[in-house]
Amino acid sequence: MGQRPWRLLLLPGDGIGPEVLAAVRPVLERVSWELESRSGRRIDVQEAFIGGAAVDRYGTPLPEETLRQARSADAVLLGAVGGPAWDRLEPERRPESGLLSLRRALGVYANLRPARMLPGAHSPLRADVTGRFDVLLVRELTGGLYFGEPRRRWVGQDGRRAALDTMAYDEEEIRRVALVAFAAARKRRGRVTSVDKANVLACSRLWREVVTEVAAEYRDVSLDHQLVDSTTVHLVQHPEDYDVLLTENLFGDILSDLLGGIVGQFGALASASLGAAGPGLFEPVHGSAPDLAGQDVAIPAGAILSFALACRYAFGAPDLGQFLAESVDDVLLEDAGLGTRAFGERTAQRFRARSQVALT
Ligand code: IPM
Ligand code: MG
């Protein structure tokens, strides 16, 4: 008797989102085949609406039905959300708010964003430093300025416009994401750099305290604290110095784009967002790139590598995730100027070849 299939929910979203997820399909089918032949569990795929596409259809960026399907999945793979068509909507109906609500509803507080040099990528930095660049950014994803209350906008009695956002963290929110960073560092090069603005922000001082306490439980992992502004300089000058970067939500958003700039292949960055229980959320770091949409030119590497992370963290198949990452490298090395769809098909072929060699 076979076990129930794994459940994967695809949320294509907006802009290039649908294309890059379509390019994952051939890869997904091949991985599903491998999983089924080794453990009797194939991957069952469903698809739902999020972001602007959901606004157009249902009037809301995160429909109830999408959330219900996400909650009952083992993994959610998202394309991208947002675009100029929805820029003028009120904040809670914007596509981005659908993504933020989904992250929060799934409780995926730890966002893992690995960045390494990929074949064929052209970093604006010196090759001798980027050649050794291999960083894992661990970003707190469900707290801080993105979700803090109160938040509002108003017009004062003097007629001036004003706005308020709140940054708030409690120690448990910090502790649980720090634990993820230290556990990851233990399996890597054993170094955590915690990023904050402790010379100015109360939240950062608490962050520093709690991270230092967690470090005491990981004697084999070294910990440095670095201010976020000086981290940006050091990342550009000596990116090879870092192993695991641990940050709060907004700093992590900014630094992960910087990592994309350093590797010079922003479209190839992937991410996994994990919580204490329930499905992980996997998404490329890139945005919806409306100017590229519908032209079959977007590189789907970030989406495919996000699916590779799902293999590792959701489907219990880290080896298949690894073959997949290597297959993406193969295709990037060929540098054949493939379109989005052909890139996915070629990756599936490479994956098939690699997994056959390794598994026979
Ligand atoms: C990211 C994106 C999102 C974020 C946006 C689309 C809300 O920039 O995943 O980095 O700010 O978290
Ligand atoms: Mg971002």
Q: Which ligand 1 atom lies nearest to the CA of residue 80?
A: 6
List, for residues 219-263, the tens digit of each pLDDT value. 999 999 999 999 999 999 999 999 999 999 999 999 999 999 999
In a domain, 220, yes or no: yes
What is the residue with the minimal CA distance to atom 10 of ligand 1? 253
Query: Distance between CA atoms of 77 and 112, rounded to whole angstroms?
Result: 14
pTM here is 0.96
Please spell the DSSP secondary structure of 316-340, one letter per residue.
S-HHHHHHHHHHHHHHHHHT----H
Catalytic site includes residue 87: no
C-beta 281 within 6 A of ligand 1: no
Domain final residue, candidates 235, 264, 293 = 264
**Tens digits of per-residue pLDDT, 349-360?**
999 998 887 766
Give the total number of structural domains in the chain.
2
Q: Which pLDDT score is estimated for 136?
A: 98
Cα(327) to ligand 1 centroid in Å equals: 27
Pairing between β-strand 43-47 and β-strand 280-284 as defined by DSSP bridges: unpaired
Assess if residue 229 is contained within a domain: yes
pLDDT of 1 > 60? The answer is no
Give catalytic status of residue 74 as yes or no.
no
Catalytic site residue from 134, 241, 257, 296? 257
Question: What range defines the domain where residue 71 resides?
Answer: 1-114+267-360
Q: Which backbone phi and psi does 152 adopt, to 5 degrees?
A: -170, 175
Output the pLDDT for position 355: 86
pLDDT of residue 2: 64
Same domain, 255 and 128: yes
187 catalytic per annotation:
no
**153 in a domain, yes or no?**
no
Domain boundary among 233, 264, 295: 264
Task: Give me ligand 2 centre to Cα 50, in Å.
Answer: 17
Select from 245, 264, 283 the last residue of a domain. 264
User: Tell me, what amino acid is at 21?
Assistant: L
Q: Which residue's CA is minimally distant from atom 4 of ligand 1?
A: 253
Domain-located, residue 177: yes
Catalytic residue flag (residue 257): yes
Q: Examine residue 275 and state whether it is found in any structural domain, yes or no.
A: yes
Q: What three-state secondary structure class fits 155?
A: strand
Q: Which ligand is closest to the CA of 80, given by its number?
A: 1
DSSP 3-state assignment of 70? Answer: helix
Give residue-wise pLDDT tens across range 261-302: 999 988 899 999 999 999 999 999 999 999 999 999 999 999
Marked catalytic residue, from 87, 170, 224, 229: 229
- pLDDT at 126 (0 to 100): 86
What is the pLDDT at residue 204?
A: 98
